């Protein structure tokens, strides 16, 4: 029977205490269905979108086990390994463990690229109960003899679809091969494509499966608009929107999404030159640069953040009033993640998407995914009536310009979430979708 309250879950007293302090009473669907399996020691495949509470669904059972079965830590070892695709997600997961484990004695550290390795090496010397890591830097430290995975009891592979999309499959397979056979493995993904299911069954043993259907209500609660424009009109239209946003009585923060890292840098620089305080965040930025940019954004010192999809998941910034899709994403699920950065905690949110004739197919995929047509906004100076009419009639737009093939495999070691294989110039799947590189 699925529990209807946290009190009904057989968790240790320190965990119930912190849940009461956090005023957590009713578990989310992923928590209600996954936690009982995990408390029984089962392996698990969890299919759920970001923002459904999946981190608590695995953090609480793991903390419960660490509390009930304390062990002396071995040097360089970890009892729990949580593998994440990006630094932002690693930080978020580690914060969740800290929050939920407030009244439990346990040691935790993070390993990711973009920062010096010495503090991470020092943290691992005495061993830890929980290690949250990105694949590249973790392998680096293992190869240098600073980390030993032979004692891992709990293994969590988080956001697997993103992990594979960013080219970490071989790294993940190498890491899994170093884990002990006897362990509890947890596998979380927003989608369960055939390659993901195949990977899951190569890692897990007799897994329970919990699937939470994606909710499109988040997107439906946010006011959405699409602007049909030429590519050259995008920048002046964005400046118009930002000027209106800054004049509002209660000016709020804005996130602008660009498809590529180069485009994000170029756009942030252009906006700053036009008098808008803007900064860019993407996978090529160092960890210190990303944290500084996010902190300034949270405080409103830089009210405009230009981001690639690396910021669409794992970064929770309140008081975002406007999301602008300067470039439409080539994955419709990313659209839901992007616009979900606004309209949080019951606040109103506005999403404005720019659609050139090269992006018609992306918009069709988005509308199919969210099961609604995005209202067309004609009340601006750059509306292209011809594009709007052609789209409404089901016509096709111009094909995307062919991207020159870049050198493959340029992921950048260190697990910093810095892009898909092939670097900024790599090509994506054959057909109409351009490269996924700008992650």
Six-digit token pair at 423? 């670097």
Domains 6-211 and 217-392 share a fold: yes
What's the CATH code, domain 6-211? Answer: 3.40.50.300
Determine contact, residues 176/208, Cβ cutoff 8 Å: no
Q: What is the chain's pLDDT, residue by residue, as a tens digit (439 residues)?
A: 678 899 999 999 999 999 999 999 999 899 999 999 999 999 999 988 766 788 999 999 999 999 999 999 999 999 999 999 988 889 999 999 999 999 999 999 999 998 899 999 999 999 999 999 999 999 999 999 999 999 999 999 998 988 887 788 999 999 999 999 999 999 998 878 788 888 998 999 999 999 887 554 445 568 899 999 999 999 999 999 999 888 775 668 999 999 988 999 999 999 999 999 999 988 777 767 887 888 899 888 999 999 988 655 556 677 888 999 999 998 887 888 888 888 665 567 889 999 999 999 999 989 988 888 999 999 899 999 999 999 998 876 665 554 343 333 333 333 333 333 222 233 333 333 333 333 3
Q: Are 192 and 199 in contact (CB under 8 A)?
A: no
Q: Residue 388 has which token pair?
A: 């709007």
Does 3.20.20.70 match the CATH number of domain 217-392?
no
- Where are the domains positioned within the chain? 6-211, 217-392
Three-state secondary structure call for residue 10:
coil
Q: What is the 3-state secondary structure (H, E, C) of 85-98?
A: CCHHHHHHHHHHHH
pTM, to two decimals: 0.60
Cα separation, 223 vs 229, whole angstroms: 19
Distance in angstroms (rounded) separating the CA atoms of residues 167 and 422? 9
Strand partners, 211: 47
Show the tokens assigned to 398: 């111009």
- What six digits make up the tokens of 134? 């990105």
Helix (H, G, I), strand (E, B) or coil at 322: strand
Pairing of strands 44-47, 184-189: parallel
Measured CA angle at 50 (ends 45, 55), to 5 deg:
65
Angle between helices 332-339 and 360-370 (to 10 degrees): 70
């Amino acid at each position: 029977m699925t529990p209807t309250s946290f009190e009904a879950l057989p968790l240790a007293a320190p965990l119930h205490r912190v849940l009461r302090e956090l005023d957590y009473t009713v578990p989310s669907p992923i928590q209600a269905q996954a936690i009982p399996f995990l408390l029984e020691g089962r392996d698990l495949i969890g299919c759920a979108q970001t923002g459904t509470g999946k981190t608590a669904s695995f953090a609480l059972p793991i903390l419960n086990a660490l509390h009930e079965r304390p062990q002396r830590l071995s040097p360089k070892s970890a009892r729990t390994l949580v593998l994440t695709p990006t630094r932002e997600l690693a930080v978020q997961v580690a914060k969740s463990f800290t929050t939920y484990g407030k009244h439990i004695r346990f040691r935790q550290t993070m390993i990711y690229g973009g920062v010096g390795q010495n503090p991470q090496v020092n943290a691992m010397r005495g061993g830890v109960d929980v290690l949250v890591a990105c694949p590249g830097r973790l392998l680096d430290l293992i190869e240098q003899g600073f980390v030993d995975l032979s004692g891992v009891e709990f293994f969590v592979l988080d956001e697997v679809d993103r992990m594979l999309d960013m080219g970490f499959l071989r790294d993940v397979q190498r890491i899994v091969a170093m884990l002990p056979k006897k362990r509890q493995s947890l596998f979380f993904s927003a989608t369960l494509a055939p390659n993901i299911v195949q990977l899951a069954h190569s890692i897990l043993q007799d897994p329970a499966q919990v699937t939470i259907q994606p909710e499109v209500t988040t997107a439906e609660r946010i006011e959405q608009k699409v602007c049909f424009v030429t590519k050259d009109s995008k920048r002046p239209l964005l400046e118009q929107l930002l000027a209106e946003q800054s004049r509002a009585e209660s000016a709020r923060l804005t996130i602008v999404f660009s498809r590529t890292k180069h485009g994000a840098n170029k756009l942030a620089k252009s906006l700053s030159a036009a008098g808008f305080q803007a900064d860019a965040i993407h996978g090529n930025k160092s960890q210190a640069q990303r944290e500084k940019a996010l902190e300034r954004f949270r405080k409103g010192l830089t009210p405009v953040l230009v981001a690639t999809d690396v910021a669409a998941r794992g970064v929770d910034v309140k008081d975002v009033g406007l999301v602008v899709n300067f470039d439409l994403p080539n994955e419709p699920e990313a659209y839901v993640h992007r616009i979900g950065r606004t309209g949080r905690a019951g606040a109103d949110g506005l999403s404005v998407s720019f659609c050139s004739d090269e992006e018609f197919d992306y918009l069709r995929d988005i509308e199919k995914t969210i099961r609604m047509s995005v209202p067309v906004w004609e009340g601006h100076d750059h509306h292209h009536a011809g594009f709007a009419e052609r789209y409404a009639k089901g016509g096709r737009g111009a094909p995307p310009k062919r991207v020159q093939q870049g050198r493959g495999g340029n992921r950048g070691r260190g697990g910093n979430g810095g892009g898909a294989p092939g670097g900024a110039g790599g090509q994506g799947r054959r057909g109409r979708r351009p490269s996924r590189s700008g992650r």
